Structure 1
Amino acid sequence: MTTTPSQGPMPLQGFTVLDLSQGVAGPYCAQLLAGQGARVIKVEPPQGDWGRHVGVARNGHSTISSTYNGGKQSLAIDARHPDGKALILQLAQQADIIVQNFRPQVVQRLGLDYESLRERGLKPVYVSISGYGPDGPFADYPATDSVMQADSGLMFSNRDAAGKPQRIGVLLADIAAGVYAAQACTAALLHKLRTAEGSHVQINLFNVCCALQSTVFSEEVTGAQAARQAISAPNGVFDAADGKLTILALNNEQFVRICRAFELAHWETDPRFASNELRLEHKAQLHAELSRKVAQQSLAQLEALLGCHQVLHARVRAGRDVVGHPQAQHLRTFQTIEQPDFGPLVWAAAPWACHADAVQPAPRIGEHSEALLRELGLDPLEIAALVARQVVATDSDARGDTR
């Protein structure tokens, strides 16, 4: 079912974002700005953002590119060609915000780095997203989400029961970097409105992943969590008669609630379970007995019981279950996007209500090339010449239309 989020303020209406980024982190940053009302012009190569070809992909779209590029305008340009670079510089002159996630030497070679634009008299809010930052021994290392999850400790933090590091099953490094970048960008935009000065916002995935794990690092460095992952007991996923749910207690009061919900009065008086520290030492015994209690009941029975006793719990849901979650229905968390040439896609709204209308689909490669070039003052013959020299690609080029 297609629903429309509640209409809210559009604080970035009237601002223009030049999105030079590809993949997830940069595009998501720019899309969050679009969700707050900004006009976003996505400049991508004639073959398209590489994210268009990752994941479930068809006809120049993928689930990744459609998720992180909704509502943008696409201009397909070969930035390596001098004429292509000149067009991008024209767009930069009109942009309030520029977002890019090239490696440092690449954007400098193109002459589209912050300092080069400053030398031209431009004062944009300029957002750079990189793997490891602009300098240092790892600055030029390629950094995908998986690489970063390993190198920043996220995989180690996500160890399984046997202690084996595991990749978190979402593009967490990229997505979090996009969120941090959007927040820093809007703060820099506020600064520009107050001072008329642009600024260079530099976000790197390594620092983002470290920020996400600050508590973990503190505990590991002090040795408090060197040998265990759990922070409390009982705390885990348990098998019910018809599914799985997580049950946990973070303090003594919550532990007592579990005891009373499952009629485990002897736990309340057992000195082995008198504190969280002691309960962690005897986690195996707690989980074994709790597992037997949980296995005898259905999810519905357990939810009613645990809700009555205010025990921390939730059933473990697959994606389809989350889309149908009663609270998701109430909050209008999901929309269905009719993505041309791909089909319907489920889209999760930003956590705040800024959209005046239902979210728009992602553009085709070069869908708005001709219109945007006309805005720059080019006439049809000039645009045709650029297309003929393969400096610019249009929607018909991407489709292979020979009409």
Structure 2
Amino acid sequence: MDSAVAADVNCGPFSGLRVLDISQGIAGPYCAQMLWQQGAEVVKVEPPAGDWGRHVGTVAGAHSALSVAYNAGKRGVCLDARHPAGREALRRLADGADVLIQNFRPGVAARMGVGYQDLAPAMPGLVYVSISGYGEDGPYAGAPASDSVMQADSGLMYANQDEAGVPRRIGVLMADIATALYATQAAMAALYRQARTGQGAHVQLSLFQACAALQVNDILAHGMAGARHAGSVSAPNGVFDTADGRLSVLALNNDQFARLCRALERPEWLLEPAYADNAGRMARRDELHRQLAAQLATRPSSHWIERLAREDVLHARVRDYDGLAAHAQARHVDLLQTLVQPGVGSLPYAPLPGLAQRRPPTASPAIGQHSCEVLHDWGWNAAEIQTLLATGALVQDGARKESL
């Protein structure tokens, strides 16, 4: 076992839990990785070509930012499930897992011999997590789904429309990430039930369901109002240029507006009947924003931040990720850890919040980096591993080996 993995294997509430992650992309891998952050042993199984997430977005060498983010800490096994011996090995790994996570289209895992119905009769305590695009059945069950598809189909783009009513994709992988969070919560609930009763569970959820749950307030608001109004719900409320940067500044009620007026030394706004309440300010939002923008542009951000903070006005500097790393509070709470990824370098890594003890981040595995090691640890003998390598069903370090 890698020394970095061995050093912290007993860290966290899920220490001793074996998770077999046969998923790809984001939602399934991130679910498994969150369990790793809380102490579980996670084995990532990939085909010879690797998880498709390795080749999406920002790529350096054999990894993308996506594959590093959602597979850090795992041990990597490469099996060719097209090979009968590969399918048998995958099934044997599944038989040794406490949790299995897959996010194939409905029916694919069963064709590989590791569907829930294949495993559950002999493993009543198994927690089996199935993540799909639209669900296990129904008219869209077989439809292809991605984060962008789901943002469009679930209303997320509608929720993020601009002031002209044009739907926009949210600039993070919101559909996938939300699904991973909901999947992890459901898996943990199933593990709690298993600890109490000994009974496992088949956790089934879809990106479609997760995106709806994420928008519960907006869906209710739409049901109450019958329409969605683009833009902010208060004025002033926006992003404004300063002499050297940008600030988000807003007031949600009359008290906050009064604080803003004091910070900007604009007593005339408080005396203006048209600005007496939020409805009046919203009706004159463009003029109010024009005046605010003109004033903020005259001085650097630090000048306005000092004034706004003094009056406890809602505001923030608009930061990029370098700015986030430099944030005083980020440094105080160790917001970002350092993850060293071979072939890439030292990277900033944002761990789960709320952990009683953080597990030091370790690298995302190369394809098949730990194939022989994991099989040995999970009960294979040397001859069995050698046979799998010789047939090509098992790949170690991305290359078929003739000997251990």
Question: How far is 1:79 from its partner?
Answer: 2.2
* 8 A Cα contact 1:36 1:354, kept in partner: no
Structure 1 residue corresponding to 2:40, chosen from 38, 49, 52? 38
Partner of 1:14: 16
* Matched residue SS, 2:355: coil
Whichever residue aligns with residue 127 of structure 2, its letter is V
Deviation at 1:157, TM superposition (A): 1.5
For the residues of structure 2 that align with 1:30 and 1:312, how far apart are their CA atoms? 37
Shift in Å, 1:192:
0.4
CA contact 2:164–2:230 (8 Å) conserved in 1: no
SS at structure 1 position matched to 2:107: helix
Report how far residue 268 of structure 1 moved: 2.1
Report how far residue 141 of structure 1 moved. Answer: 1.0
Letter in 1 for 2:366: R
Aligned pairs for 1:285-296 (under 5 A) are 285-296=287-298
Residue identity in the other structure for 1:385: T
Cα distance in 2 for residues equivalent to 1:402 and 1:85: 21
* C-alpha deviation, 1:294, in angstroms: 1.1
The change in CA–CA distance for 1:216 and 1:278 in structure 2 (over 3 A counts) is: farther
Give the partner amino acid of 1:274: A
Out of 237, 240, 263, the position equivalent to 2:239 is 237
Superposed counterparts of 1:129-148, under 5 Å: 129-148=131-150
In structure 1, distance between residues paired with 2:335 and 2:403: 41
Aligned-pair distance for 1:148?
Answer: 0.8
CA distance in 1, matches of 2:379, 2:253: 66
Structure 1 residues 322 and 380, CA gap change in structure 2 (3 angstroms)? same
- Give matches, 1:2-401, under 5 Å: 10-223=12-225, 226-355=228-357, 357-395=359-397, 397=399
8 Å CA contact retained: 1:124, 1:198: yes
Deviation at 1:187, TM superposition (A): 1.1
Q: Partners in 1 of 2:38 and 2:66 — Cα distance?
A: 21
Residue 66 of structure 1, CA deviation: 0.7
Alpha-carbon distance between aligned partners in 1 of 2:49 and 2:357, rounded to the nearest angstrom = 30
Cα deviation code 1:88-113 (max 9, x no counterpart): 22222221111111111212222322
Whether the 8 Å CA contact 2:11–2:359 is kept in 1: the answer is no
* TM-score, L = length of structure 2: 0.92
Gaps of 5+ in 2: 1-9
Q: Is the 8 A contact 1:157 1:229 kept in 2?
A: no
Shift of 1:355: 4.6
| Cα separation, 1, equivalents of 2:242 and 2:184 | 41
| CA displacement at 1:354 relative to structure 2 | 4.6
Deviation, 1:159, is: 1.9
Q: 1:25 to 1:395 in 2, by over 3 A?
A: same
Of stretches 30-39 and 71-80 in structure 1, the one that deviates more from structure 2 is: 71-80
Which residue identity lines up with residue 74 of structure 2 in the other structure?
K
- Counterpart-to-counterpart distance in 2, 1:9 and 1:280: 52
Q: Please state how far the C-alpha of 1:401 moved relative to its aligned partner.
A: 11
User: Does the residue aligned with 1:237 lie in a helix, a strand or coil?
Assistant: strand
Higher relative contact order (CA 8 A, sep 6+): 1
Per-residue CA shift, 1:170-192, capped at 9, x if unaligned?
11111111111111111110000
Whether the aligned pair in 2 keeps the contact of 1:35 and 1:354 (CA below 8 Å) is no
Q: How much does 1:12 deviate?
A: 0.7
One-letter identity of the residue aligned with 2:121: E
Given residue 238 of structure 1, which amino acid in structure 2 is its aligned partner?
Answer: F
SS in 2 for 1:363: coil
Residue 271 of structure 1 and its aligned partner are, at CA, apart by 3.0
SS of alignment partner, residue 151 of structure 2: helix
Three-state SS of the structure 1 residue aligned to 2:399 is helix
Greater CA deviation, 218-227 or 311-320? Answer: 218-227
- Which sits farther off after the overlay, 359-368 or 371-380? 371-380
TM-superposed deviation, 1:196: 0.4
Distance in 2 (alpha carbons) for counterparts of 1:269 and 1:9 = 60
Provide the residue aligned with 1:4 in structure 2. Answer: none
So what's the TM-score if we normalise by structure 1?
A: 0.92
| Range with bigger deviation, 258-267 or 143-152 | 258-267
**Aligned partner of residue 148 in structure 1, secondary structure:** helix
**Displacement of 1:302:** 0.7
Cα distance in 2 for residues equivalent to 1:34 and 1:357: 8
- On the 8 A contact 2:242/2:299 being kept in 1, the answer is yes
Deviates more, 1:63-72 or 1:8-17: 8-17
CA contact (8 A) 1:93 1:122 kept: no
**Partner Cα separation in structure 1 for residue 286 and residue 123 of structure 2:** 65
Unaligned runs of 5+ in 1: 1-7
User: Could you tell me how far 1:121 is from its partner in structure 2?
Assistant: 4.0
**Which stretch of the first structure deviates more once superposed, 309-318 or 176-185?**
176-185
Q: SS where residue 345 of structure 1 aligns?
A: strand
* Cα deviation code 1:7-49 (max 9, x no counterpart): x971111111111111111111111100000110111112211
Structure 1 stretch displaced more, 118-127 or 222-231: 222-231
Once the two structures are aligned, what percentage of the paired residues are identical? 47
Between the aligned partners of 2:41 and 2:317, the Cα distance in structure 1 is: 40
- Which residue identity lines up with residue 122 of structure 2 in the other structure? R
Kept after mapping to 2: 8 A contact 1:9/1:354: no
SS of equivalent residue, structure 2 residue 369: coil
